[in-house]
Each structure stands twice: as C-alpha cells, then as structure tokens.
Structure 1
Amino acid sequence: MSQVLQPPPPAATASPAPDAPPAETPAQLAARYGLSVSGARPSLSEYGRQLWARRHFIRAFATAKLTAQYSQAKLGQLWQVANPLLNAAVYFLIFGILLGTKRGVPDYVPFLVTGVFVWTFTQSSIMAGTRAISGNLGLVRALHFPRAALPVSFALQQLQQLLFSMCALVVILLAFGVPPAASWLLAVPALVLQFCFNAGVAMVMARWGARTPDIAQLMPFVLRTWMYVSGVMWSIDHVTRDRDLPHLVLLALRCNPAAVYIDLMRFALIDSFHASGLPPHVWALATGWALLAGVGGFVYFWKAEETYGRG
C-alpha cells in the first residue's frame, strides 16, 4: 500500500497584537536618537553660521599658507613684493616703452604698478580658488567643516599678500612725486569690495575645479585674456577715446569688474587720476559686482556641499 506524503503544516506566525504600536521606520529611529546623514548639507543660514564660527581657522589657515609659500626660497617673504614688482617692470618695458601705452598717461609708473598689484590680487585669488577643493582632498575627507572656508581662506591669503605689496606701492608713489592725500582712505572700502568679489568668484571656481580638475589648466589662458582687456597696462579711457567702437564694447570695457576695482584704487591713490577716468556710478557698480559674486558664489558653492571630496 502506497503512502502519500503530506507537506508539513505551515508554521504558525504570531500576529501582532491589535494594540501594539507600528514599527518605526529608519528615519524615525534616526530622529529619535539624534542621528543625521554624514556630510548632509545644512540650511543656508546654518551654513553661514558654521562658516562664521570657523573664522579663526580661516585666518590661521590663510596666514600659514602665506608663510609657507616662499619658505624654501633664500629671499623668503621678500618674493611677496618682488614678484609683482618684476611683473610691473616687464609690462613697463613691453607696453610702456615698446608699445608706447605710457603716452598721454600722467604718473604712468604708479598707474602701472597699481594696476598690476590690484589685478594680481584678483588673478591669484581665482587661481587658488580653482584648486581649493581638488588640491586639499585629504583635509576635506578627514575633517568636517564648511568647505567654503577653503576658497575664502585662499582669497584672504591673497589679500594679505596684497597688503605687503601695498607697502612697496606707497614707496613708489612717494618716489614719483605723488603726495599722500585723504583720498588714500578710499583704498580700504575698495579693497573690501574687491575681496568680496574675489572670494565669490573663487567659490564658483572651487566648485567647478572640484568636479573638473582640468579647469585649472585652462584658467591661466582665460585670466591672461581678461587681464589684457582690464586696462592693467593701458588706460581704457585714452585708448578708446578716438576709436569708433560699438557702444556695447565700450560698456563692457568700462563695466568690467577687474577694471572697476583697478580704477577705484588708482582714483584713491594717484592724484592725477581724476574722476573723469571712472565709469559712471563706479561705487554702485563696484558694490553690485561684489554682492553678485559674493552672495551668488556663496549660494552656488553651498548647493554642492555634499559632493565635495566624494567620488
């Protein structure tokens, strides 16, 4: 007689008691015990507070970078002044003498040196900002801090270097007969506005450079082109006066942010550089560029906070 094997009866499962509370989701458990996602992006206001709380780190990091920059050179920190002065000497030889851009420009040497120093501040801030994340991945991955501290600290480093250069600029101004004046105080708000602009652009470039490191190889060509149209070595007002250029071209040259900050510094320091050489509403223009780049760059950088150092 054959025996039919029957499958075993299914195991009885305990049904939850009707009064039992529902099981908590992982998100509810995390909230209950105060857990959060590692590296999660905070709100914009909280991010700003975190960045302000790290202001001492930003200043110390910028100072350390500035001190270490020429630590291996025999002349040491003298290169902070020598580098822009040598650039100014080369530009004076090529543009001032060979190309004759000094004709019609009074106090051309102070005019040129001021332009070179102020432009170097913007150029170096942007270049350093491009590598702020990609060049400090070890720091970014090891420590938790608002990543905007890095491009801001590099812009502050370049401001500190400019202040060293300004000492040499004052000597040059006095040597070429430019007397001290109350207008020299205007250099302070001009530098504050330029720093906000430089820091904002540095944050934009830091985000781009973190995603595409090859941008750091392209930027020297972009910045060199920008320098040539910013009136560093020549007077925009003198060169464009007798040329029939389209209005949009003239407007772009005069409203160029680099040219605006250079002109403001020349107006503050050089007695022969009159207000007629400035674009209309120059202070409003300088403030607008600083707010647009500073605030816009900060928000743009914050939006990618979770991605820095990953991948």
Structure 2
Amino acid sequence: MGKKWARRNFLRTVGATVLTLPVMTTTAAAAQADFVWPVSDHINSPYGPRGSGYHYGVDIDGETEDPIYASRAGTAYAAEDPGGYGQYVYIDHGDGYVSEYGHVNSYDVYDGEWVERGEQIAGMGTTGSSTGVHVHLEIEHDGSPQSIPGDKGDWVTQGEPIPKDFPGIGGTDTGNYYSWPTYSRGDQSEGVYSIQYLLEEQGYNLNYHDGIYGSEVENTVESFQSSQGLSVDGIVGPNTWEELYVTVYDANNDPYWATYGAQHHLRYDQGYSISVDGYYGPETEGAVEDFQSNAGLTVDGIVGHDTWQALMDL
C-alpha cells in the first residue's frame, strides 16, 4: 500500500466557539490540550466581535489579587501597556506560542524566569483599559491570535484543559500530536469530502460529494451546529469536529457514510489502494491499522477520535 506523510503546518484562526467541557480528568487528557485555564471563574467577554472591534482573547472575572497561574510552561516576562492591557505578563512557550495575561495588579515573576504550567505568575487587577477586575487571556501562534472557546457566563476551572486543539498541539498522549484543521466556504480538499460524508452520517442529505466547501456545505454545517448547541458560524473548527466525527470500527457496526469517508480519505489523501464502498471489511481494517502504525497511534483498526484527527492533520 502506498502512503504519504506531510504534516499540516497551518490552521486558520476562527471566531469564538461554544465552550464544551469534555470529561478529561487524567494527566494524559491535560497533555492533549496542553494549555489550561489560568483562573477559576466566569467568562465575562468571549473571543470574537465586540462592539465596533474584535476581542482577541477571553476575559475571566475574579477579585483583586486573585492568583493567576501559567496556562503552559515557558519563559515569563512582566510588561506594561498603559493604554490597553495595563500591567501584564506574557509567557514565551518556545514553539511559536505566546500566552498573555492582562490587567494584572501585581507580578509574581521576573523577566526571563522559567515557569511551569500551573505556577502562580500574577495577581488579578484592573490596570489599563479595564471596566472591572478580570484577567484578559490571549494566546498567539507566530504572532496570530488563536481563538479560545467560551461564551459569556461560562464557568472555567483553573488547571483544567482548554477544550481546543491549537496547531501542532493536541492528539494522543503518546507524543504524536495532531490537530483538527479548520475549513470554511471556498475551501476545496479531501478534508471537505470527509465533512460531506460525516454530515450525511449525521442525517443530512447533500446533493454533492465533491470536496468543495460551497453554500450547501456551509448551510448544512450551520444546521448541524445549531442542533448541537455550538456557535453557528458555518465553519468546521475543532469544536464542530468533536461533534461531527463518527467512530468506524467493524462490519457489524458499520456506519455507511462515515466508513465511506474514512475509506475515501485513506485512498485519495493517504494513497492506500483500497475500495471506497462504505463497507468495513478486512481490506479497510488493514489500511486503518497500517495508517495508525505509521502515525504512531494505538493500532486497533478503529477510526475513532485520534485516528480521524490524524487523518485530517496529515
């Protein structure tokens, strides 16, 4: 069987998404998310459009001098922006990622200090342009703000994984990390074929299975997002993928359209010479197991969360 291995090196930033808190209680789960919430309280201003501008982070409520903890390990710096963040801390994580914590009242780090995830870095405050005590959390990748999930009023818990896969972060706890890509109208790729087949599996009837993200896909995605309580933006990002994918695991429990989608992706994107017929037989199982082995995943022949994610990311 032929194979290709080329890591995706980009993921477009999208707008705010609805906070969904999966059951993640183990160290492995934390490793999947990598970034964790820096405080415990309610979100008072989510990521996305706000007033006449755009809010490139999330604001989380608290009380003066409530401790703020590092969302991820890295080198910390104390800084000041009187017209915006006020006093703030930023952490360089060393792989293109920087996290920023705005409006702090006090510092618990010095410039150039290495901090571990969960280590206290500052006390909450109202410095800069702030209408109340809160921390502004922002995450950037190579200078581009990354969308952070959460709606106004959502409760977040310090130390819990942020339910979002950032580029190059996430996936399994084996050291082989994969991320959900983001697709929107105008895209044309094998990933869009998978979206179309998975929407069919979810009960939607599409006229086209052509790998083109047109109005039909966008409108159907919006309907699916609405049915799942997600932010309705017509964009298939990490939170939408989490609800959209369907596990494919054997011929006795064979979801026709999801199997078709996995086969199509294995054949036309990964180069496996298999039939694309919607039937999960030995040929498909062998291709799945070979793909999993090469991707560093658990070899079980099941196209579940991590295998779907790797298929989309490779």
TM-score by length of 2: 0.23
Larger Rg: 1
Structure with greater strand share of residues: 2
Larger relative contact order, structure 1 or 2 (CA cutoff 8 Å, min sep 6): 1
